[in-house]
Amino acid sequence: MRRTRIGAARRLLAAICFAVTSLMTVPAFATTKIQHLVTPGGIEAWFVQDATVPLVAMEYAFAGGAAQDPADKPGVGYMVASLLDEGAADLDSKTFRERLDRHAIELSFSIERDRFRGSLRMLKEHSGEAFDLLHLALTSPRFDADDVERIRSQIISELRRNSTNPNALAGRNFLKLAFDDHPYGRPSHGTLESIPPITTDDLRIYVRHVLARDGLKIAVVGDIEPAALAKLLDQTFGGLPAKGDLTPVADVVATKPPQRTFVPLDVPQTVVMFGGPGVKRHDPDFMAAYIDNHILGGGSLSSRLYREVREKRGLAYSVSQSLLWMDHSALFAGTTGTRADRAGESIDAINNVIQRFAEDGPTQKELDEAKSYLKGSQMLELDTSSKLATGLLQYQTDNLPIDYIEKRNSIVEAVTLDQAKAVAKRLWGHGLLTVVVGRAQAATQPAAAQPGATARPGAAQPAPHPAAH
Amino acid sequence: MTALPRLTARVSTALALCLAFLFAFGASQAQTVTAQPPATFTLPNGLAVVIIPDHRTPVVTQMIWYKVGSADETPGKSGLAHFLEHLMFKGTAKHPAGEFSQTVLRVGGEENAFTYFDYTGYYQRVPRDQLATMMAFEADRMTGLVLKDENVLPERDVVLEEYNMRVANNPDARLTEQIMAALYLNHPYGRPVIGWRHEIEKLTRKDALAFYKRFYAPNNATLVIAGDVDAQKIRPEIEKTFGQVPPQPAIPPVRIRPQEPLPVASRTVTLADPRVEQPMLRRYYLVPAATTAATGESPALDVLARLMGEGSNAYLYRALVVDKPLAVNTNASYQGTMVDPTQFTIAVAPKPGVSFAAVEQAIDGVIAHLAANPVPAEDLERVKTQLIAQAVYAQDSQTTLARWYGAGMTVGLSVDEIRTWPDRIRAVTAAQVREAAQRWLVKTRSVTGYLIKDTTPAHEEKRS
């Protein structure tokens, strides 16, 4: 976690912390080789054995995540994620980090809304050491006072920086607008008020509730024998409690649009986040919505939003939209940055493009091309061990079958134009939830604006800012 | 571990962002661990070709690197290399605007481009059976670009929005611009890659076309193909496409730019902005690049940077964050993959209430210690192991390998130098690290930048 704390700029590229990963598709080399490994100790993992590169990559997740933070203490899970690599059992922080460094082991933790994530990568000859250190981190974290205070000060520093970062403010306010007091509306990195009073007990309680075998999903890719891996998985995860103790999270539908929040901040470029209720992963309309989103605002250089807002009008460098699906809700959400004196024009342009799409839906040609893209991109999305492991984990947390990869293209193919049009109306036909962060100018504050929201310092997930040329 | 957004403001695309971090490890990232060295050859028209096989997935990456970046711009036209990069997506006589991009999309592919001080690059990742089509498009775009005011002018607005996003909205990026401008008294690295705003605003279609004609040619480019290909089999296809583009004999084989005088004065710059909630101290030293350093010096700087600034066992982190409560975070890095003398950078985020003077005293203490004492053997070993492991981790990604080779060759390193970088890291001695600290981390070679909160009362600004 520490490694990103100063690097705010890079996180512009990070998504909003839900599962915004695109539909996971697996390269051909993996399709015939995904093993469903069940260890003697009963730990399950999806595994691809590949010896091309002498390394092993593992991605895993515990059900839980930021939604399990106590209501008055957002940021507990994030703080745990930031501290689990700061020493365990009889190894203090310095010794623990030295053992990682000496073997070039990459071990990290992160937090999503619904999941506590971990990632482990090592050269194959150091797999024993790597899994051993992970086992200690998960089962006997130290939370020494010095380390807790050091990490706390880093998180506070990050939150203070984000308190004047337009992207962070837009993301935080967007979630607040969409989910209000629901756990999804709380800042997953905490706030300047919530982080200081968090105690070591809070951290330990979180660990006890979330780090358990029943909510655990694992994906491994790399140069290791299945039997050896099974043994390491048992040693690493077998000692965790069989059952976690999660607070139930209520299903929630995002706030009904249109709604607008204005956050004043004196910056040359106004940041706009827009969105609305989406579709959940197992909704029958999911794939049609996914294809529609690709046409309307997906990360490509020729979506409708990209063409209208960037190419034709030169209003923004990046404009894009994603589907975000969670265990208990779903959103579509987009973002752009545009010069202050043309912010109103940009917002109008976005609204018009989306409204037209809702009314008419995609054309047959757009639908065909989007399908062609999604089918072809299957091989490209997961061409490294780490990306493949991340993808295999996503399939599991999405509750998809292990043979989904083979079925996926036919699911894409089956979406009809009528269906795509109906879903366009369903999702994009109700106006937008909009958050505008920037200078107070008449153009950005139409009559519908709610000037109530203030730029209260606090954490937020940075808004997605996809790459463009 | 506390990767700071070094130079990110200068970098023009997301890919280049990644590059900046990759190169934090230093010069000519390479690995000798692959079974065979990449195939290389040069076409009669001067195009250098590198082919890196990776047969795990039926995917291929085509990357073309032009030996032209912001440091090759004419003074007064800053931002032109990057502006042209954007305009390269506006179509050719043969393929109207959008056709190339739509072809990439239709097959599920991915494309982008990036600009930096010494290079401009374009890439596509596609299913392997599309490689020949991509070659035809990219070769056509090398000389066939057609620009019209109707798409040049909106694109200039797009670039200005990119500037707003990366620089204007980001006080730390603005500080970095000022540090670089102060560090380079004579060399064009002092200009931001994205350009100075007042100059970007005035760039024209004519400027872009003239720049394009001057620098885009096969003898000024390196083509990297990484992925599921057979070097023998694709060579004819390369000859049929790129091989048909005539060379530009007027382009000099070596780039000669105004060089820095011997630095004699330590400098400071201060940037104040009302939005600064976390002050920052950044110190940049002028140091040799992999291409300009004496033997062994550049890898020693790689080791020194990691020793000082990567991870929680790094010397700066231990001295300023763990042992004394001076800072929240620290970082050091060295970027060796450059044509001309480059920067060794240190960044520190002080704790509230801690003065910059106290932070600097601690930094200077770490450097003085390194300059006076040999690095303990176990620390040296740990850092070398980590650096060398990067070469193995890089093999996992065909695009990462393509970037290592592309960037390295574009700044003038040979394939062999790139490949054997881990050997040179392995050979670094404690004495060399000490010498590097003694010789290069000298105050007079540096600019120190302070990012502070502007607390003067808000004044009425005239904004157009």
Distance from CA of B351 to the nearest CA of A (A): 8
The backbone region for B353, taken as left when phi is positive above 0, alpha when psi lies in -120 to 50, beta otherwise, is left
Q: Inspect the interface and report whether the beta carbons of B57 and A161 lie closer than 8 Å.
A: no
- Chain B partners of A13 at a C-beta cutoff of 8 Å? 14, 17
Residues 431 through 450 of chain A touching chain B, CB cutoff 8 Å? none
Alpha carbons within 13 angstroms on the beta-carbon side of residue A317 total 25
Residues 369 through 398 of chain A touching chain B, CB cutoff 8 Å? 369, 372-380, 383-386
Per-residue pLDDT of chain A (469 residues), as tens digits, is 333 233 222 232 232 333 333 333 444 444 558 999 999 999 999 999 999 899 999 999 999 999 999 999 999 999 999 999 999 999 999 999 999 999 999 999 999 999 999 999 999 999 999 999 999 999 999 999 999 999 999 999 999 999 999 999 999 999 999 999 999 999 999 999 999 999 999 999 999 999 999 999 999 999 999 999 999 999 999 999 999 999 999 999 999 999 999 999 999 999 999 999 999 999 999 999 999 999 999 967 789 999 999 999 999 999 999 999 999 999 999 999 999 999 999 999 999 999 999 999 999 999 999 999 998 887 888 788 999 999 999 999 999 999 998 899 999 999 999 999 999 999 999 999 999 999 986 444 443 434 333 333 332 333 333 333 4
- Chain A partners of B312 at a C-beta cutoff of 8 Å? 2, 86, 93-94, 97
- Chain A partners of B381 at a C-beta cutoff of 8 Å? 102
Per-residue pLDDT tens digits for A76-88 = 999 999 999 999 9
Distance from CA of B184 to the nearest CA of A (A): 24
Beta strands in B252-389 (DSSP E): 267-273, 280-287, 327-334, 342-350
Counting as low any pLDDT under 70, the low residues of chain B are 1-36, 458-464
Listed in sequence order, the DSSP H helices in A86-225 are: 93-102, 127-139, 145-162, 166-179, 200-210
Q: Inspect the interface and report whether the beta carbons of A53 and B395 lie closer than 8 Å.
A: yes
Asked if A337 is an interface residue toward chain B (Cβ–Cβ < 8 A), one would say: yes
Nearest CA in chain A to B227: A383
Sign of the torsion formed by the C-alpha atoms of B193, B227, B415 and A10: positive
For chain B, the first-to-last Cα distance in angstroms comes to: 42
Q: Inspect the interface and report whether the beta carbons of B277 and A161 lie closer than 8 Å.
A: yes
Residue B294, number of CB atoms within 10 A of its CB: 9
A314: tokens are 């030169």
Looking at residue A355, the DSSP 8-state letter turns out to be: H
B85 is catalytic: yes
Q: Inspect the interface and report whether the beta carbons of A378 and B108 lie closer than 8 Å.
A: yes
ipTM score of the complex? 0.89
- Chain A partners of B396 at a C-beta cutoff of 8 Å? 53, 55, 57, 384-386
- Chain A partners of B133 at a C-beta cutoff of 8 Å? none
pTM (predicted TM-score)? 0.90
Active-site residue identified among B85, B111, B155, B177 = B85
